A and B are shown apart, each in its own frame.
Chain A
Amino acid sequence: MRKKRAFHYFAVGLICVVLLLFSFPFLWMLSASFKTQAQIMGNTGLIFFEPTFRNYVNVFKEHNFLKYIINSFVVAAGATVFSLLLGLPAAYAIARYHMQRLGMVILIARIIPGITFLIPWFILFSMAGMVDTYAALILSHMLVVLPFIVWIMIAYFEALPREIEESGLIDGCTVNRVFLHIVLPISGPGITTSSLLSFIFSWNNFMFSIILAGDRTKTLPIAVFNFLSYSEINWGGLMAAACIITLPVLAISLMTQRYVVSGLSAGAVKG
């Protein structure tokens, strides 16, 4: 028995080490974002140093981050809303009429490498004069977001009790009315979590934005990446920028914890 208890404490100690290793980059990022360049170069410790807020001020003043935050927000919100419009009815039909094959077609968008679409998109969006517009970014991000919404919502709609819908159908409602007036109003929690997760996926997207965004529509990941183009890397500013882009994502995932795993595994696993 004593041996068992000793093993338990050993395991808990090991868990603490694992957690420290996985959170270390975040701690390092946060700490460096409050350091001057000299402090970073001078190898000050993780916690004990005189903090400065200059990096955060500069990110907004000199690097115009407010604009990039707005751009990221508009693109992520746009991609999410339009994906909901297309995705919710599709997910409902797939769930109710067992159209799994069609569900697979949409899931394939998750499997195919995004870069295979990028050259044609770039050519066509250039021809249409749409590079560096919100429309091009929203359309491309929708291809990332839509499969997630559809797959999370299929599982959600399948789990709804059928009696509610059947009572509506018996009362003479059409399927369309049942969906709009009975199913959607009680699906708030599912729609909220899938929207928040989609928002994260669009917010984090780098590959599509770096090609399709320009000076006017540059999103946060591109703005953060551009810190590298200066001859000497301003580490403090870069880390402050990294904190700013990460913070909303962490906040959202704390709210949607339960669904993050099932969202990331695109419905293959229930989290």
Chain B
Amino acid sequence: MPYSWFDRNIKWIYTLPAVLFVVVMMVFPILYTVRISFFEWSMSAASPPVWVGLKNYQELFADSRFWNAVLRTFYFTFAALLLEVVLGVAIAALFFRRFRGKDAAKTVLMLPMVATPVAMGLVWLLIYEPTIGAANRVLKSLGLQPLSWLADKHQVIPSLILVDVWEWTPLIALIVMAGMTTLPEEPYESAEVDGASAWQKFVSITLPLLRPTIIIAAMLRLIDVLKTFDIIYATTQGGPGHASETLNIYGYVLAFSHFKLGMASALLVIFFAVVMAFTVLMIWLRNRLGESS
């Protein structure tokens, strides 16, 4: 049967609009950002962009605020990721039993990650508020010293990590729970015969079998924690001082508060490279370690 040109090329015609959209909205802006990073411009119509070569990058590398943001981004990312993976697996293990209302319990776990992050950030702002917030009331009732939380430059990042852990641990827990339902039964039966304890079974059977699932969950989180914006900007906007300024926040402030578009673009090019490097690294790690042996 002679198919028309349209039918023969249907797979390209179906995918072209979506791919074109992504290219126009994504690839082009990235190239544009790279270009602006070699210019100095404050978005005014009166003074056009001035070519400055690598000056923006040099300024950035000499800027202690930039290096602090780099370190802070890594600190925030790895602390949050570690806590989320450990707690997420622990919660999944805790849920790995029959109890009444299990589905309802899973639904409760889902709420933090779907709720509007800005709104949740502002709720935490109230919880952390030193005089009227719930956090210090809990500490006082336990007989502990109240903290300054988001208002103190040493406590602000741990406080924000706690918010991220609250928001995203459930995702890891739910992914791992889904992975647990697919585990084979035989290893457990033979371990039962050998008289293994529940803990031994968990460490030597469950965890190794779940390794691919845990790695994928951690990979997804890593890519997103690096980019955390909403909860930080909604609560501290990078403050107090610059104490909670991550790369994402500093780039945003440079561009849209200081209108240093060139320098902001240089920072974003570096940030983009960092995120892509971690993504490639994680895919490589998953391929190396992710196979269930």
Q: Which residues of A contact B (CB under 8 A)?
A: 8, 11-12, 14-15, 18-19, 21-26, 28-29, 32, 40-41, 43, 85-87, 89-90, 92-94, 96-97, 99, 102, 105-106, 108-109, 111-123, 126, 139-140, 142-143, 146, 150, 172, 174-176, 179, 200, 203-204, 206-207, 211, 220-221, 224-225, 227-228, 235, 238-239, 241-242, 245-246, 249-250, 252-254, 257, 260-261, 264-266, 268-271
Contacts and interface: CB of A to CB of B under 8 A. Distances in A.
Given A8-B97, A227-B122, A245-B116, A261 B14 contact: no
B32 interface: yes
A241 B126 CA distance: 13
* Max count, chain B CB within 10 A of own CB: residue among A96, A118, A200, A220: A118
A116 B29 contact: yes
List the 6 closest A-B pairs by CB distance, nearest first: A90-B18, A93-B14, A89-B14, A120-B29, A120-B32, A242-B119
A7 B276 CA distance: 45
A59 to B, nearest CB: 13
20 contacts: A8-B97, A11-B99, A15-B94, A18-B91, A28-B123, A43-B132, A87-B18, A97-B11, A113-B227, A115-B252, A119-B29, A119-B36, A119-B261, A120-B28, A120-B33, A122-B256, A123-B261, A221-B119, A225-B122, A265-B171
Interface string B181-225: 000000000000000000000000000000001001101100100
Contacts of B109: 19, 22
Given A19-B108, A225-B122, A253-B111, A264 B29 contact: no
Contact of A111 (B17, B137, B275): B275
B10 interface: yes
A268 B216 contact: yes
B116 A249 contact: yes
Contacts of B179: 269
Nearest to A174: B7
Contact of B26 (A12, A112, A220, A260): A112
B238 interface: no
B10 A176 contact: yes
Interface residues of B, number: 88
Contacts of A14: 94
A116 B216 contact: no
Interface string B5-32: 0110011111101110110011011101
Nearest to A85: B17
A31 to B, nearest CB: 10
B142 interface: no
Contacts of B264: 119
Interface of B: 1, 3-4, 6-7, 10-15, 17-19, 21-22, 25-26, 28-30, 32-33, 36, 43, 91, 94-95, 97, 99, 105-120, 122-124, 126-127, 132, 134, 137, 166, 170-171, 174-175, 178-179, 213, 216-217, 219-220, 223, 226-227, 229-230, 233-234, 248, 251-252, 255-256, 261, 264-265, 268-269, 271-272, 275-276, 279
Contacts of A207: 229-230, 233, 252
Contacts of A118: 252, 255
Nearest to B252: A115
Contacts of B216: 265, 268-269
Contact of A249 (B114, B170, B279): B114
A63 B271 CA distance: 37
A50 to B, nearest CB: 18
B66 to A, nearest CB: 15
B30 to A, nearest CB: 6
A102 B15 contact: yes
A137 B111 CA distance: 26
B175 to A, nearest CB: 5
A265 B123 contact: no
Contacts, number: 259
A41 B22 contact: no
Interface of A is mostly: helix
Nearest to B221: A265
A90 B123 contact: no
B200 to A, nearest CB: 15
B58 to A, nearest CB: 20
Nearest to B105: A19
A147 to B, nearest CB: 8
B208 to A, nearest CB: 18
B178 A94 contact: no
A25 B111 CA distance: 11
A12 B261 contact: no
A165 B38 CA distance: 53
A119 B94 contact: no
Contacts of A86: 17-18, 21
A92 B17 CA distance: 13
A20 B261 CA distance: 45
Contacts of B29: 116-117, 119-121
B18 A146 contact: yes
Contacts of A264: 113, 171
A146 B112 CA distance: 23
